[in-house]
Structure 1
Amino acid sequence: MQVMHRKGIRVPKAIVLGGYGLIGLACMRALSRAGFEVSGVGRSMRSANAVDLSVEWIIRDIPTITVEEWSAILDGVDVIVNASGALQDGARDDLEAIHVTAVARLVEAAARLPVRIVQISAAGVSESASTAFFRTKARGDMILSSGAKNWIILRPTLVLSQEAYGGTALLRAASALPLIQPHVLASAQIQTVYVGDVAAAVVASAQGQIRSGTIADITEQDTHTFPDLLAKVRRWQGWSGPVASPTIPAALVSAVGKIADLLGHLGWRSPLRTTALKALADGIRGDPGAWAKAGGSSCRSLDDTLALLPATRQERLFSRAYVALPLAIGTLAIFWLLSGLITLIDPARAMSVLAERAVSSWVIAPTVLGGAVADILLGIGILWRPWSRHAALGMLGLSSAYLIGSLFAAPDLWADPLGPMVKVLPGMTLAALVWLMLEER
């Protein structure tokens, strides 16, 4: 990479891994404002373009980058910020690969170069932790601290941001439930940190204000129980107080986590997976003392963070849509799967609908059986995250074909008292909403 100069002054260069993520994006913006020439690394050009930053993007799956490739990428770079990570193993994520292998390769490449590595880890990491997330993060931190020449490890607690993703989206959604406020994880102790304070810590580290070898939690001073945190977020969003606060049994919470884990193997990164629930139950706490001792600025309290992020109508709409989206996807999946399976259970009955209306016999069987198979495939497809938007679009297309075909083959069905054709329209609307609402970040 070429080094830029402004009026003879060398412009420092920074690369952010996971640059379009919640923390990575905040770091990229803060580093740009601080005068760095910033590049981002991520595996989706679509997600990179969506953040609308005028920076160079390196589109790669980070765990696949070799030591030799890292050496070329890091040429002329002053700082690399590792904000990449995954919560739990799944169809698209491998914790060992992203938290350990990728860090080891990066450290090996950086050992021959004058580059500072700023690692975004997590408060509470330990090789004996209760989740693979914390254990693999801890191993990555150990590889960095023992092998790199110039490094800093920052460990934020629960990060709050104007962006909504993962844990921040879960907080918003749980707080926005109509009429009720679930009483769950009552003993969990949580500390928060504003994403801007994390980004400021990264900038201070990148500028050399923090000495190499620093390991510090980035967090507010205060601690909150999880129910109190939900209540504060609910008030911040502007909702009225709940009518009821039912206690959610631990067994039900565990069951929800296991279901979310299964969905993780279908590509869905639910914040309700067992790793997230276990982390919350264990508590998310940190000690701001090491950061203060290193010369870092203190972090905002929860109240100050929420005051900095005024809740808007868009905020409230998102929070309730976040709850409604999985319900819509589940409803569509069940509807289309049952539609196809019921037809295959008794295909003769379905064929008789067309036969009674003098449709050519050679058309009937392929139409009925092909339609049933297509229904099942679409019902399965919308549950597989990489295909979900395409499946929703396919539902719209196939529903349109059914409606148009009925106008020619069975127009009388439109006047049927049970409204079999009219009822297709709400399903199309639901599929359209899912197609519009599904996005990565």
Structure 2
Amino acid sequence: MLRLATSSQTRQSRSMRVLILGGYGLIGSSVVSAVLAAGHDVTGLGRDVTEARRRRPPVRWLQHDLKTLVVPQAWIPLLHEIDAVINASGVLQDGPGDDVMAVQRDAMIALFQACESARIGRFVQISAVGASSVAQTVFMRSKGLADEALSACAFEWIVLRPGLVLGAQVYGGSAMLHALAGMPGLIALPRAPAIRTVALQDVAEMALAALEGSLPLRRSYDLVEEEAHALDDVVRRLRARLGFPSAPIVHWPAAIFRVLFGLGDLAGWLGWHPPLRSTAFRQTMLGIDGDPRPLRDVIHRPLRSLDETLSVIDGSARERWFARLFMLKPVIIITLGLFWLVSGIVGLIGAGRAESILVTHGLSAPIASLAVHGGAFLDIALGAAMLIRRSMPAAAVGMMAVTLFYLLAGSAFAPDLWADPLGPLVKAVPAAILALVALAIRDAR
């Protein structure tokens, strides 16, 4: 791990109490690991830290939504007994519960002011390469505006701007690259400008170096490798590391990808956070590039190359499963949701026929009508709930429970349906199994 000292700064030797925003994210979790390993005390902050508390018990976790912390007074209690802050949080684009400007500009400006009042010693801002107050995407503008506000602060600060982050852990853009590399048959890509990557490990090491004063302060550094690569080349090399056979790359028109990424925006309004969203596509088409020289001149070595970065990927079954299942996850969820929605609608349309079948098997007409209509509306509710991220786990459990009830009730009142040529009972079994698969792969990070 990097340990540098400059003539103007010496390495911070004492243990610090560090607040890390977004400490359970792709970058944040690696930064937390590096800071803990260096002997510092860590407080993590995020919107939902329930799982983080289970996974990282050495960290003191605070649960707050950044978009509600837009005045300095809201931050002051959170900075009690804190020596330094690392911001590894981020929101790709607006959606239900997400406000890019509130999180990445307003909350950060309020935090900077609170840090000055609380006499925080150092602030490490993990921004993004290309961030600017005049950038073409809201994401990059919000990051750029925060960077500019930080540069005017009196306390010690450093801005780190990573390129496309790759590592053994996957989320966001790196997850999308894994999915593209795992496509069977052929790989569909847009024609995009060259990009520069950065190893997740390098980002964590530079964040620690900035925290400990091993980098010159009050500067901004692009965290990128020396060589830029075509998107095709990055995907090919990643595919090879995953152990998949080579596949032809087909360049589809940008309009097709705009539609696909637009569907990702729709998923965002249902609470999902897919990497295939219009902001990600626009940024890819604008290019992900930076200047490696300022940082190289300070640390006297380049950051890891793409091949060195990919060396942490060993092509294990876990990694290959993820690459192949990532694209199948939305297919599974949409299929289940539509299957139950359509089943419920068809049940309502054909309610009379279904009621007559139940009556012939001994149910009274009122009970048969209640069972048919109640079951149809329940199917519709479960189908709709499956499409919404927050309710998806409960919907999957409900689908399995309702299917089990259907099978038991059918076996009790109409066992002959097991031999029906259309297989109304037999076909319910794979649907329940698919719901179990959806439940198993529901996690995004």
Choose which of 414, 422, 439 in structure 1 pairs with 2:426.
Answer: 422
- For the 8 Å contact 1:47–1:440, the answer to whether it is kept is no
In 1, Cα distance between equivalents of 2:42 and 2:301: 23
Corresponding residue to 1:165 among 149, 167, 171: 171
Residue of structure 1 equivalent to 2:4: none
User: 1:281: how far off?
Assistant: 1.1
Letter in 2 for 1:30: A
Match of 2:7 in 1: none
Cα displacement string for residues 131-177 of structure 1 (whole angstroms, at most 9, x for unaligned residues): 11111111111121123522111000000021111111111111111
Given that 1:107 and 1:148 are in contact with CA atoms closer than 8 Å, whether structure 2 keeps it comes out as: no
RMSD (Å) for aligned C-alpha atoms = 1.6
The equivalent of 2:45 in structure 1 is: 41
Matches within 5 A, 1:200-215: 200-215=205-220
Cα shift readout 1:94-125 (whole Å, capped 9, x = no counterpart) = 10111011101111110121321100000011
Q: Report the counterpart of residue 195 of structure 2 in structure 1.
A: 190
Structural mapping, 1:31-180, within 5 Å: 31-65=35-69, 66-112=71-117, 113-180=119-186
Contact 1:214 1:294 in 2 (8 A): no
The match for 1:233 is 238
1:340–1:374 CA contact under 8 A, matched in 2: yes
Q: Secondary structure at the match of 1:284?
A: coil
CA deviation after TM superposition for structure 1 residue 345, in Å: 2.0
SS in structure 2 of the partner of residue 246 of structure 1: strand
Contact preservation (8 Å) 2:83, 2:121: yes
SS in structure 2 opposite 1:38? strand
Q: Which runs of 5+ in 1 are unaligned?
A: 1-8
Q: Does 1:16 align with 2:16?
A: no
Q: 1:84 to 1:319 in 2, by over 3 A?
A: same
Q: 1:340 aligned to 2:344?
A: yes
Q: CA deviation at 1:15?
A: 1.2
Identity of aligned residues (%): 38
Give, in whole Å, the separation in 1 of the partners of 2:96 and 2:74.
25
Counterpart secondary structure, 1:380: helix
Question: Offset at 1:45?
Answer: 2.6
Q: CA deviation at 1:426?
A: 0.3
SS for the counterpart of 2:18 is strand
Unaligned runs of 5+ residues in structure 2 are 1-12
Aligned partner of 1:415: which letter?
A: A
Question: How many Å separate the matches in 1 of 2:24 and 2:211?
Answer: 19
Q: Separation in 1 of the partners of 2:346 and 2:281? A: 38
Match of residue 367, structure 2, among 350, 354, 363: 363
Q: Which amino acid aligns with 1:115?
A: G
Q: Residue 14 of structure 1: CA displacement?
A: 0.9
Contact 2:127 2:143 in 1 (8 A): yes
Are the aligned partners of 1:340 and 1:371 in contact in 2 as well (CA < 8 Å)? yes
Mean Cα displacement is larger for which, 54-63 or 64-73?
Answer: 64-73
Q: CA deviation at 1:346?
A: 3.0
SS state at 1:212 partner: coil
Secondary structure in 2 matching 1:229: helix
In 1, are the aligned partners of 2:242 and 2:313 still within 8 Å (CA)?
no
d(CA) in 2 for partners of 1:291, 1:253: 35
The amino acid across from 2:360 in the alignment is E
Count of aligned pairs: 431
1:71–1:109 contact (8 Å) kept in structure 2: yes
Residues in 2 aligned to 1:78 and 1:175: alpha-carbon distance in whole angstroms: 42
The range that moved more, 253-262 or 73-82, is 73-82
- Cα deviation, residue 296, structure 1: 7.0
In structure 2, relative to structure 1, the CA distance for the partners of 1:100 and 1:38 (3 Å cut) is same
**3-state SS in 2 of match to 1:147:** coil
Spell out, residue by residue over 1:203-225, the C-alpha distance to the aligned partner (whole angstroms, 9 max, x if none): 11111122321111011011001
Letter of the 2:104 counterpart: H
Give 1:285's match in structure 2, choosing from 286, 289, 299: 289
Q: Which residue of 2 aligns with 1:3?
A: none
Once residues 118 and 439 of structure 1 are traced to their aligned partners in structure 2, the CA distance between those partners, rounded to angstroms, is: 29
Q: Is the 8 A contact 1:204 1:296 kept in 2?
A: no
Q: What is aligned with 2:378?
A: 374
Mapped partners of 2:382, 2:168: distance in 1: 34
C-alpha displacement of 1:54: 1.7
Q: State the partner residue of 1:6.
A: none
Is residue 23–residue 45 contact of structure 2 (8 Å, CA) maintained in 1?
yes
Q: Given the superposition, is the C-alpha separation of residues 142 and 344 from structure 1 closer, same or farther in structure 2, using an over 3 Å criterion?
A: same
Q: Which amino acid aligns with 1:368?
A: V
Amino acid at match of 1:413: L
Amino acid in the other structure paired with 2:167: S
Question: How far 1:85 moved relative to its partner?
Answer: 0.5
Aligned pairs (5 A) from 1:211-222: 211-222=216-227
Partner Cα distance (2:198, 2:380) in 1: 45
Instruction: Report if the CA contact (8 A) 1:381-1:387 is conserved.
Output: yes
- When structure 1 is superposed on structure 2, of 350-359 and 41-50 the one drifting more is 41-50
Question: Partner of 1:224: helix, strand, or coil?
Answer: coil
Question: For 2:424 and 2:250, how far apart are their aligned partners in 1?
Answer: 39
Q: Which digits, 9 at most, give the CA deviation of each residue in 1:47-105, with x for residues without a partner?
A: 31353342111121122235234222222322100000111111231101110111011
- TM (norm. structure 2) is 0.93
Q: CA deviation at 1:294?
A: 4.1
